[in-house]
Amino acid sequence: MNSLIDSLNPQQRAAVTLPDVSSLILAGAGSGKTRVLTSRIAYLLQNGYASPEEILAVTFTNKAAKEMVSRLSTMVSFNTKYMWIGTFHGLCNRMLHSHHEQAGLPATFTILDQSDQLSTIKRLMKANNVSEDEVSARDIQHFINQRKEEGKRASQVKVLGYLGQLKLQVYQWYEDSLNKEGVCDFAELLLRSYELLSRNEQIRHYYQRRFRFILVDEFQDTNVLQYRWLKLLSGIEDNCERVNAVFAVGDDDQSIYAFRGANVGNMKDFVRDFRVQNPIRLEQNYRSHGNILDAANALISNNSERLGKKLWTDAGRGDPIRVFGAVTDQEEAEFLVDSIKGAIADGVDRKEIAILYRSNAQSRVIETELTRRNVPYKVYGGLRFYDRAEIKHTLAYMRLAENTADDSAFLRVVNFPARGIGAKTIEVLMDVAKNENLSLFDATRLLPKTASQKLSVFTQIIEYLKLAKEQLELPDFVDFTVEKSGLKHFYETEKNSEDKLENILELKSAAQAYLSEEQTDSNNGTDTLSPLAGFLSHASLESGENQAKANEDAVQLMTVHASKGLEFNLVFITGLERGLFPHDSAINDDKNGLEEERRLMYVAITRARKSLYLTYAQQRMMHGLTRYNMRSPFFDELPAQTLKWLTPKEGERSSDRYSCGGSSLMRDYQSAEKSRHYSSNTPTWAKGIVTSKLERDIRRQADAGNPYRQGARISHEKFGPGRITSTRNSGDSHEMTVTFDSGKVLTLLTRIAKNKITLM
């Protein structure tokens, strides 16, 4: 243990050896936070401050939880299975299975992933005659998850307007459906666990006495309900004589998931609520060279709502950050591939090269150029194993064997492979189930003879599976399911389905691996479940996490959001244009939106170890439309001494390569960009928008003769008020994409829509 402590830097050592008090560790990018977390647990165990069962450690991904357990296994002689280490969803799932009766759940409750949740919402909308022309199922899914993450049931939500009432009504139907079927979605796991603790004093006090030490990774990503859940477990709101110590590790500068409900304000609230005297700052970076860190520090210092820290390294200055300004996105892609081929020739592994972009739509032209130049690449974040259709079909059969009330699973496979069960039969079945308040499976017994005969083959399969699950080992049951369901035969005879067949056969290996892990690790809480129930929970909780970094030797392509937690020797940040990065939605938002975009850029910069390139294009084709762009204002927030411009700045090129409302106007724009001077009082962010009036003049001239310009406010007689977000010429007419205040996005033809819209 002494050697472990001695190997830490002073700030890390101070964090690991803190006394039994709540503390906030501000861990900068590349500062060794995982090492600090695991060393803290090892320190508590080795010195007798805690026993394994007194430790609760919360992470945000299953991968991070497994990494923590793996590291601890090499550091301490204690059995890690007695600790609760896992994600919020995984730990809540474990708690609910242990107390399912008190939580109002069946022992066999299953978990809906995001796609199954969306399918359930669509089914309920269709059954109740709610059209997606009125409100999209995805909007309702977002509404439901947001309310749950705020800790609100449908009965507790207050809304205004017709659309709000409609969303709330679907939320109520959805809530009733989940209760009837005995299933939980991801947000429900946390909400029901919170309700269990808050309403049941005996269970709450049991866990408060047990978990004397609570450790939380990536604290900046917690949402409102997760923070309230942690406060319940700590005992701070119960005025307990002893409040459990919460060791929160996070970086407010890397909070980039507000769209998922993350509340960066939880960090300041934590300091206040838990009376943290002196947050410890981990500022020594072990990843990046000095120029990269100086750029990151300077950029993020423009955010006002931060606790503050400054990264440093003893690794030297390193290469300057190279900047390339392309005329078009095609030229940008050609530059990327030229640079990558040069780096590979110099010995850089392809898998250590990453191309980051703000929007997935940017990848098309880059992928085309990589393919044309024969450079292997991998798009990170592709479809995971458990998200593939053939795997979800197989798991649906297994879910029904475990819980026949799971209507989502029933509808996924009742006619797959095809058994001649038509839409009319399903409609009749759904009506019977609704009228009799039964599951679809149970309602099959009440159908007229003709319809029930069509369904009898399917229900017999499920009955066989129910019997088999009690008699077969889990891997053998997977085999039996694949055979008995007809899936194996279907994919054997279907054209071009070799990969899908291999995948469903691979599910047996996944089940075997799951059992092997369970023998040495019960941190996911499945020790209280049957092997089948545990495996189904494991599959659902794994669904939707970011794909692990590929080991194959290929250039990595990904969004900036997907890059968080990864690092590469050579990084390209592309599309650094105003309106793309920072995004339009953030520029039009309040200060919080702009600060989140800056944090996103900070994350992107700090992915680079040795070399970093920043690129932008003055003309870009996206979504079928040509955009004319100014470079990102983020360039004005980076220290000049850290940058090396590989191309002249805008305004130093010939204007004959541009066409945006006339060359003379573009020359004026270039000249303004080149000769801008700002007073010392000009806010940094404002520097990026000094030429906004000129840009509007350019766009206005480009749209001459068309009153429906990008940015204009309109009102549609059916869809209400909205803003034109993009326009394009389409033959003898004009198309405009409108984002309505209701959230609906539509593309309208001017010649058709002009009689239905008015300019505001």
Q: Which residues are catalytic?
A: 33-34, 217-218, 254, 607
Residues in Cβ contact with 381 at an 8 Å cutoff, skipping those fewer than 6 apart: 546, 547, 558, 559, 562
Q: Which two tokens stand for residue 682?
A: 């000009």
**Measuring CA to CA, which residue among 363, 339, 365 is closest to residue 353?**
339
Q: Which residues of 429-468 are buried (b: 16+ CB within 10 A; e: fewer)?
A: bbebbeeeebbbbebbeebeeebbebbeebbebbeebeee
d(CA 441, CA 406): 8
Q: Report in angstroms the alpha-carbon separations of 239 from 208, 211, 236, 269, 596.
A: 12, 16, 6, 17, 35
- The crossing angle, in degrees rounded to 10, of helices 88-98 and 186-199 is 50
**Cα–Cα dist 55/51, whole Å:** 7
Q: How far is CA 389 from CA 394, 416, 475, 487, in A?
A: 9, 11, 20, 12
Rounded CA separation 494/141 (Å): 34
For residues 605 and 600, give the distance between their C-alpha atoms in angstroms, rounded to a whole number: 9
How would you label 287-302 residue by residue, b for 16+ Cβ within 10 Å and e otherwise?
bbbbbbbbbbbebbeb
DSSP 3-state helix, strand, coil percentages of the chain (rounded to 5)? 50, 15, 30
Closest CA to 582 of 569, 593, 566: 593
Q: Name which of 304, 261, 306 is nearest 279 in CA terms.
A: 306
**Sheet with strand 280-282: strands edge to edge:** 84-87, 55-59, 213-216, 245-250, 23-27, 280-282
Quick one: CA torsion of 464, 465, 466, 472, rounded to 10 degrees? 110
- 């503050």: which residue's tokens? 308
Q: Which of 234, 545, 587, 260 is nearest to 385 (CA)?
A: 545
Residues 384 and 262: their CA atoms lie apart, in Å, by: 24
Residue identified by tokens 């690794």 is 315
In three-state form (DSSP H/G/I as H, E/B as E, the rest C), the secondary structure along 202-240 is HHHHHHHHHCCEEEECCHHHCCHHHHHHHHHHHCHHHCC
Query: How many other β-carbons are positioned within 10 Å of the β-carbon of residue 755?
Result: 8
Q: Render 594-618 in DSSP notation, one character per residue.
A: HHHHHHHHHHHHTTEEEEEEEEEEE
User: Which residues share a beta bridge with 354?
Assistant: 556, 571
Strands of 301-376 (E only): list them.
321-328, 353-357
Q: Are strands 183-185 and 213-216 parallel, antiparallel or unpaired?
A: unpaired
Using DSSP's 3-state secondary structure scheme, residue 45 falls into helix
55-59/280-282 β-pairing: unpaired
DSSP code string of 625-655: EEEE-PBPGGGGGS-GGGEEESSPPTTSS-G
Sorted by sequence, the CB contacts under 8 Å of residue 131 that are 6+ apart come out as 125
d(CA 224, CA 182): 25
